Every structure is written in structure tokens, then in C-alpha cells.
Structure 1
């Protein structure tokens, strides 16, 4: 009885904590996880990086403006060697003069503008960056689906344990009542002491099992919090029950119409194919001429004294250049890059058949697993109902003095075993439901 009081005290404490806890339906739990799970947050950061990458590539096509300012002190001027006859006709043939050209101090200031007019690889790079962003968006979706799957399984695990915990508590209460009645019968001399002891052992075993389930339930809540990205120290409560989960009417037919694009893996492969195609086109576009416009405007000055650079006049200069860069020979570098890119594209395209076969297999397996799980759950439920009826009849017979104590204990053991089998089958069916939704690409995400 002391252990039973501890169990009920623990249940009361959990109930008190749950009263102040936040309540979540399955959808709300998934939504919370999508908003707080690190896995999703990281994929969203990758999406932000993809957007920034697009802007970076676009910036390459915008005017590039640079300014420069340089003040130079020529500590030792370099000399140029010229024939001496230029300045002195009487100089000997071959005589050279080491002459200084330039000034001791010079200054230069300019502003330059460069504008890319045409570059085939740049245009394809813009397209590829948009496709890359699309890939990042799909990666976010894939992360959300994985989080939704994990949260759903953890949520269902708590619901199943909660139901099992309730039934075990009823088992304990029923056995305690029977134990109390048997003790009274023993005092009156109608049953032997060993009958009381057998029931006492059975009751203790049930209480131990109930305590184990309670600890497992606490662990299940921790798992759900982890999958949701929910603070571990805060209490949480679930608003749904197993009765709300539709299993019997769940469609297990894997032969119906199915769009492979519903699976995020297939959609990601399509995007990877687009990227591979653009990569090959970009390499081939490297053979096209590149047109660049450059403009420069600046000032320069020279003086023997460094301070004169500030006071003396600076002279301006300007230039505009249109450069057409024509690739002629690169040692076959682009040729071999194109071969590698074409091979990568072929690998991606060959992956379609493998992915389709894999998806078909997953859908078939998930459908069969779901059908088997539903059938097993149905059979175990029938066994549980039968075990309950046998227990009821056995107890009536025992109370009327026409049944044995061992029959009652065997019936109680059968109930416990049937309950364990039923809840195992029920959880397997719920997991199979999630796996089938995942295989069909219909698993819920916001």
C-alpha cells in the first residue's frame, strides 16, 4: 500500500505540473519544432546565404568604381643610359651618359570605372544562382519534413504510454481490491494464506511495472522536447488522445496515382539536374568573347620638394577603353572541364531511375507494413478483450468458491501480456502510418 501511495503521489505531482504546462496538439508541436529546431534554423541560414550569393553575383554585373591616391618620394631616381653624342657631338663613339629622368616627388590621384558589357558565363551564373536558391528552399523543406517525422513519432509514443499507464493503474487497483477481499476470506478461513501471498506477489509486480512505465513516460516527454527544440526544464502537456488518431480508415493502397515530385528527394534531384546543365553551359560559354568598358579620370603632379606637391598645379588626364577579350587557346582547359561537367550531368540523370525504384520500394514496404500493423492491432485488441472477459469470469468463479486462486493469477497475467502486445501493435501501427505518409510525400509540414 505504501508503494501504491507513492505511485498515486507521483501521478498527482505530474498532474499538478501538467496543470501549469503549455498544451500542444500534434500540429502545434510540429509547428513549434519547425520554428525552433536547430536543424531547420541552420537550413534557413543556408537559404539566406543563397539569397546573398545571388546578390553577390548580380553585383559583378554592376559598375565597379575604384579610387586611388598615391604620393611617391623617389629617394634614389633610376638612371637611363643614353648616347653622349645626343648632348655633345664631340663625345666619343659609344660613350653613354647616365641621365636622371623624373622628379624626386610625384603624386597621382584617379577614379576608375569598369563595366561588364557582355560575358556569357556571367549570364548563366545569374540563372545558376537562382536555381541554387531553389535548392536551398527545398533543403529547408526536407529539414522540416524530417523534424515533423521525429516529432510525430515521439508524440504518438507518449499517447500510447499514457494509455498503457492508465490501464496498468486500473489493473493495480483491481488486483488490490481482489487482494483485500482475499485477505478477509483468509481471516475467515475460507482460503489459504498462500492464495493471499500469490496475489500479493502479483500486485507487487504490477506496481513495479507501473513505476517503470512512469519513468519511461518521463523519458518520452524528454524525447519529445528534444525533437521540438523545447526547453527541457519546462513542463509540457499534450491535448490530443489516441481516440483522435484515425488508423482504421487510413488508405494503405500503394498502387494509386502518385507523383514522384511529391517526394522532396525527387524534387531536389530535379534541381540538381538544372544546376548540372547550367554548369555545362557556363563552361561552354567561356569560349565566347568578353566585352568590358573601362573609364578613368585622374590627376598627376611632380616636384623636387615634397611640399610642392600640395602647392603646385596638378594636371588632369582621362581615358575610355572598350576591350574585347577573345579566348583563342587555353591548353584545352575548358574542354576537359566540359567533359567532367557532362559526366556529372549524366550521373544525375542516371540517378532518376534508381530514386524512382527506391521510392516505389519504400511505398510498397510502407503499405504492406501498415496493413500488417493494422491487422496485428486488430488481433491483439480482440485478444485483450478476450483476456478481460476471461479475467472477469474467473474472478466471479473465485468469489463464488468454484474457482481457484491460480486461475485468477493466470487470468491477470494474460491481461498484462495482452495489454503489452496490444500497445506494442498500436505503436507499430502509428509509426507505420508516419512512414507511409513519408513514403507518399504527404507527411504534414507547415
Structure 2
């Protein structure tokens, strides 16, 4: 009964804890793009894993140091001999049995040891510290990747919402024209093909709208994942595209100087190169002698009665010197392997440097081109809108066919689609450029 009560209390406590955790995330989140980034950095699973990796590596530094620092251990043992060893000894021709030992044996001891000199241990401490640097840079890399992904998904949802507004307005207009065409057909002022043409255009646009809704939901789910919130959380985006694009100053961006040493990818290759150098030093250090010291103090007890044993002390100081002499080429192979890995790291660093410099030049070109395309497509929308409005008036006056109107409407939608794509390309290119410049 008592166990059941405890189990019930634990179950209630667990349920209450889960309820509190669920309440930590509101049902609806209203976020600007910067707020979304900050929220993701606090709750994203990948960022959290990178933080744990950093914490573990920091503990690993002390672990490596403690392996060579003084350590003290205490031991205690008690034995009861069920059958004491007996031997026969011949005394003057008379074999006599003698027991060697006592019924009880006890031992109490304290020992201390420390590394006096051990080159691999010294290099190992440096390697552990460099591993912490790598983990910290890994956290920075994960943070930048998360920022990039959140911004790109946020912008993609905004562009889909903008496209949805265009499609909805276009559908409302086309449905009105469709009803007008049906009315004109009923009095003989339009042909059946005009009605069919308009109906087909409306249907195709409705299908496009449904596809956009599904795409928007997929991207909302991706944003939820990046933010680390449940799938049931509603997310409201408070920024708008006009405000975001107005803040983009391409000339100012292009005037920034690229400092390759500030780039996280370059920093990672430098740290990996340092790790390769430490691996070579560790391999060479394995050929050096090592020296360790220890001290022991023990008290051994013996007797046939547990409470009346006799104790005898024992203590010693020891120094252990180990000199590597021959290992069938093992140490030489490790050194040669470490040298090859060092050359590989040097080559990787050079390759990454060249890639980053090439990426910088390409992104500058892409940014300039994306800005020009954006301005061009924005102007094309205004032209396509005026043309569509003109054909709508002509169609209502009977001066243009439904085919002409459909073509003008398709041209307008194409212009809108090109504009949205140019806008998204500009935003994504800016995000990539900011990430490269370490200004994301």
C-alpha cells in the first residue's frame, strides 16, 4: 500500500512538471525576425547540444590535468580464513603439522602518487584546452547556422504571404470578371468560350493558392523546429517585407572589407591545424622518459581473534622511471602518421582560405546582381499592373477577348512571381554575405 502511494505521488508530480514545461511555451508567438533569432538561440536543440559539448570539453581540461596531479587513495581489507594452510615439518624424524597463518588478516593503508615528468601528459593538457577552443568555435558555427536558417525561413514565409495577397486580390478580381462574363453570355454579349476561358483561369489560380498554403504550412513547421517549440504553437510574423528591404543598403555592405581571420570556418581550420601540431608533439613526446613518485603507508593485522589482532606497520617511498627503448617501430609510425595529418591540415587550411576568398568575390557579385534584379522586377510589376488594368477595361467594353485578358493576367502573375523570387534572392544573398563577414 505504501509503495502504491509513493508511485501515485511520483506520477502526479511528474504530470505537474510536464504541465509546467508545456506552459513555458505560449500558444501563440508573435515575433520579429530578430526576436525569432534570439528565441531560437535560447531554445534550438542544435544550439543546446553545442553548448553541452562546450561544457563537457571544459570539464575535460580538468580531467586531463588531474590525471597527472597528486592523488591520494585509502584502502582497507579484512579476511577470515576458513581453512588455514597446514604443512608437515619433520623434527628429528617425527613429522609434525604446522599451521601457517591466522584466522583473521586485516590491512589498512594510505598511498599517494604524482607525476614528476610525463611529456605526453603535458601535451594532453594542451590538447584538452584546444579541444575546448574547438567546441567553443563549434558553438559559434552552430549559432551562425541557426541564425541563417531562421532568417531564411522567416523571409520565405513572408514572401509566401506576400504572394498569397497577390493571388487573393487577383482571384477576387477574376471572379468578378467571371460573373460579369456569365451575365454577358446570358444576354448574348459574350461567347461560351469566354466563360470557359475565365473559369479555367480562376481554377488554375485556386490550385496555385492551395499549393502555396501547403508550402506555407511546411515552412511554418520548419520555423517551429528551429525555434524549438511544439508543432501546435501558432507563430505570427510581425515584420513586413517593405520594412526589411528598406533597411538593406547594398552600397554600405559592399564597402565592408572582408577579414578572413574573423570567419568562423577559417578559425576552425586554424584550430584543427593546432590540434594536428599537438598530435605530432604528443607522438614525439612518447619517446621521452617519464618519472613518477609514490609513497605508501600500511598497517597489517593478524590474529586468531577479531578484536585482539596484532598490527605491524609498513611504509615505503618509490620513484618510477620509465625509458622507452624499443617498440618495433610503433612510435616512429605514430610520428610519421602525425606528420602526414599535419600536412593534410595545412592543405585544408589553404583550401578553405581559397574557397572563402572565392566565395567573398562571388557573394559581392551576387549581392549587386540581386539588388539590380530586385529593382528591375519591382518596376516590371507596375508596368504589368497597368497593362492588366487596361485589358480589363477593354474586355468590359467588348474591345478585347477573354484570351487577351487571360494573357495579360498571366503576364501580371509572372511579373509578381519574378518580383517575389528576386526579393527572396536579395534577402538570402544578404544573409549569406552577412554570415561570411561574421555580421549575421
**TM-score interval for Structure 1 and Structure 2 normalised by the shorter chain:** 0.7 to 0.9
The 5 A counterparts of 1:113-262 are 113-186=112-185, 189-246=188-245, 249-251=249-251, 257-262=257-262
Q: Contact (CA 8 Å) 2:250, 2:367: kept in 1 or not? A: no
Rate the CA distance shift 1:99–1:380 in 2: closer, same or farther, 3 A.
Answer: same
CA shift, 1:369, in A, is: 3.0
Per-residue CA distance 1:164-191 (angstroms, 9 max, x = gap): 1001111112223333444444455544
The 3-state SS of whatever aligns with 2:298 is strand
Matched, 1:357 2:354: yes
Matched, 1:330 2:329: no
Corresponding residue pairs, total? 411
The 3-state SS of whatever aligns with 2:233 is coil
Matched, 1:388 2:396: no
Q: 2:66 aligns with which of 45, 59, 77?
A: 59
Aligned to 1:428: 425
The 3-state SS of whatever aligns with 1:314 is strand
Q: 1:320 aligns with which of 317, 321, 331?
A: 317
Q: 1:419 aligns with which of 397, 416, 435?
A: 416
Aligned to 2:307: 310
CA shift, 1:49, in A, is: 1.4
The 5 A counterparts of 1:32-51 are 32-51=39-58
Q: Contact (CA 8 Å) 1:108, 1:298: kept in 2 or not? A: yes
Matched, 1:292 2:292: yes
TM norm structure 1: 0.82
Alpha-carbon distance in 2 for matches of 1:163, 1:318: 84
Per-residue CA distance 1:370-406 (angstroms, 9 max, x = gap): 3333333333333322211111222233334443343
What RMSD, in angstroms, separates the aligned Cα atoms of the two structures?
Answer: 3.0
Alpha-carbon distance in 1 for matches of 2:219, 2:289: 64
Aligned to 2:38: 31
Q: Contact (CA 8 Å) 2:258, 2:360: kept in 1 or not? A: no
| 36-45 vs 187-196, which moves further | 187-196
CA shift, 1:419, in A, is: 1.6
Q: Contact (CA 8 Å) 2:84, 2:100: kept in 1 or not? A: no
Q: Contact (CA 8 Å) 2:57, 2:132: kept in 1 or not? A: yes
Rate the CA distance shift 1:288–1:80 in 2: closer, same or farther, 3 A.
Answer: farther
Q: Contact (CA 8 Å) 1:297, 1:319: kept in 2 or not? A: yes
Q: Contact (CA 8 Å) 1:164, 1:423: kept in 2 or not? A: yes
Alpha-carbon distance in 1 for matches of 2:294, 2:273: 37
Alpha-carbon distance in 1 for matches of 2:275, 2:324: 27
Per-residue CA distance 1:160-217 (angstroms, 9 max, x = gap): 1111100111111222333344444445554445434433332333233223322322
Alpha-carbon distance in 2 for matches of 1:174, 1:239: 28
The 5 A counterparts of 1:58-97 are 58-73=65-80, 75-77=83-85
CA shift, 1:352, in A, is: 1.6
| 405-414 vs 69-78, which moves further | 69-78
Superposed structure 1 runs of 4+ greater than 6 Å apart: 96-100, 252-256
Alpha-carbon distance in 2 for matches of 1:78, 1:28: 84
Alpha-carbon distance in 2 for matches of 1:170, 1:359: 44
Aligned to 1:379: 376
Q: Contact (CA 8 Å) 2:86, 2:97: kept in 1 or not? A: no
Alpha-carbon distance in 1 for matches of 2:87, 2:436: 81
Matched, 1:408 2:415: no
